[in-house]
Amino acid sequence: AQKITQTQPGMFVQEKEAVTLDCTYDTSDPSYGLFWYKQPSSGEMIFLIYQGSYDQQNATEGRYSLNFQKARKSANLVISASQLGDSAMYFCAMRGILSGGYNKLIFGAGTRLAVHP
Amino acid sequence: DTEVTQTPKHLVMGMTNKKSLKCEQHMGHRAMYWYKQKAKKPPELMFVYSYEKLSINESVPSRFSPECPNSSLLNLHLHALQPEDSALYLCASSPTRQGANEQYFGPGTRLTVT
């Protein structure tokens, strides 16, 4: 079975500092994908970054980078130079395969990030 | 344009009412999804549509009835709901049902059942 674990219910960071949000995963599939989504209080799930299991390099998207350590089964999100607008819930997710080859996203419990001025 | 729209933004309904949630995307995506998210929990998949056909139903009660009138539209018809069905309902789409495609989510409909 596939599982995503986020062990940090809440995190605080000072504006302009970097922060790391932890994510570990469990799967027996050799091919898998990992995602990070941001959910502000408005409710929308905003896609941030994707890492494929065969990707040689860690994914980066602007201020977001994914610290992918395959042997440790971890896919931590690093946000550099935090901004007040980064305050939100962050979900790590894995692509799960349903019958017929359909995809579903399996989410972790989420980490609530608060950025302080 | 990576936009998925959902209406209404908020909905309050009684247990005997019939209402519908609407989702629309114009990105040419061929897979669309309904998720349910309870407060302080992650989203949980309800339905998957692929090429306008219902492909996956994650054992959702029949009081939730999805419909995909065309490739851009996805509806969720609600009837005889229970208070425990109060949640944020999120619609998402992806280019196809497979592959490394991220899912793009709409802003959600906050449903309250009284």
Give yes or no for residue A102 having a pLDDT over 90: no
Q: Which of residues 5-44 of A touch B (CB under 8 A)?
A: 33, 35, 37, 42-44
Closest CA to B100 of A53, A6, A48: A53
Contact B110 A43 (CB under 8 A): yes
pLDDT in tens, A57-76: 999 999 999 999 999 999 99
Q: Looking at chain B, which residue has its C-alpha nearest residue A105?
A: B45
* Residue among B90, B98, B107 minimizing CB distance to A103: B98
pLDDT in tens, B27-56: 999 999 999 999 999 999 999 998 999 999
Contact B102 A100 (CB under 8 A): no
B17 vs B25, B38, B78, CA distance in Å?
A: 27, 21, 8
Give yes or no for residue B25 having a pLDDT over 90: yes
Q: Looking at chain A, which residue has its C-alpha nearest residue B37?
A: A43
Question: What's chain A's length in residues?
Answer: 117
B75 vs A85, B70, B85, CA distance in Å?
A: 32, 10, 17
